[in-house]
Amino acid sequence: MNNLVQQLNDEMSGAVENVRQSLVEIRNGQGAGAGTIWRADGLVVTNAHVVRGRHSLSVTLPDKRTFPARVLARDDRHDLAALSIDATDLPTIEVGDSRVLKAGQWVMAIGHPWGVAGAVTAGVVIGEGAQLPEMAVSGREWIAVSLHMRPGHSGGPLVDIDGRIVGINTMITGPDVGMAVPVHVVKAFLRAAGLEETIKPAPPTRGGGYI
């Protein structure tokens, strides 16, 4: 029993450690939020409401280096923003699949709640989709999670047990219920902004087909 719980602890902390490598802090002159390094060449994804305001933006990496950031694309309706910083060889987050999430499966939200850097809260997926009772009027897709999201988690990653991002922490509807924008919505946003190369299937060879 003790070994099992110990192993659980090790696996959770291991997953968190990996995710933290690509977790950034975004300052907008008024407050701070979180963001996730999406591409090694400096593409960072966060919430639109984190980059709101007239002040200049800066992004601080886990190694404490701080860079000025510029907004490449912003979608207020889905509360998403893509930023660029002038850095290379950054550790990126692994992208998971938010379309296969199941009610009851384990997830973790990482961010800077109340300014506590890289803090983690864990829980389960309550449900997902555009029909959640409290979010139906929004007409948008959400992942509802049962964990303790707080201000400062915004823009940070919601990850599955393997540390793959499945959503962007965006808001709370109660002290114990958080809402994340599913990562497939993030991908669509980046595609529409021309920021994510779609993977093209290899051309069919003569006489053959896809296998």
Partner 1 sequence: MSVLSDLSNALAAAAEIAGAGVVRVEARPRLPASGIVWSADGVILTAHHVVEQEDAGRIGIGLPDGKTITAKLVGRDPTTDLAVLRAQATQLTARTWADPAALKVGHLVLALGRPGEHVMATFGVVSALGDAWRTPAGGRIDRYLQTDVVMYPGFSGGPLVDASGQLIGLNTSALARGVSLTIPVTTLRQVVETLLTKGKISRGYLGVGAQPVRLPDALAKQLGQETGLLAVSVEPGGPAEKAGLFMGDTLVALAGQPIRHLDDLLAALSGDRVGATVNARVVRGGELRELNVVIGERA
Binding site for partner 1 (CB under 8 A): 4, 7-8, 11-12, 15, 102-106, 123-127, 129, 131-134, 144, 146, 160-162, 174, 176-177
Encode 16-32: b = buried (16+ Cβ within 10 Å), e = exposed. Answer: bebbbebbbbbbbeeeb
**Least spacing, CB of residue 30 vs partner 1, in Å:** 31
Write out the catalytic residue numbers.
Answer: 49, 79, 154
Our CB check for partner 1 shows the closer of 26 and 159 to be 159
Angle at CA of residue 111, ends 190 and 159, nearest 5°: 60
Give how far the C-alpha of residue 85 lies from the chain's centroid of Cα atoms, to the nearest Å.
17
Return the number of the residue (83 or 144) whose C-beta is nearest partner 1: 144
User: Please, which residues have CB within 8 angstroms of residue 200's CB and are 6 or more apart in sequence?
Assistant: none
| Least CB distance to partner 1 at residue 21 (A) | 19
Nearer to partner 1, 14 or 29 (CB): 14
Tokens standing for residue 126: 């309550």
CB of 123 to partner 1, least distance (A): 6
User: Which amino acid appears at position 180 of this protein?
Assistant: A
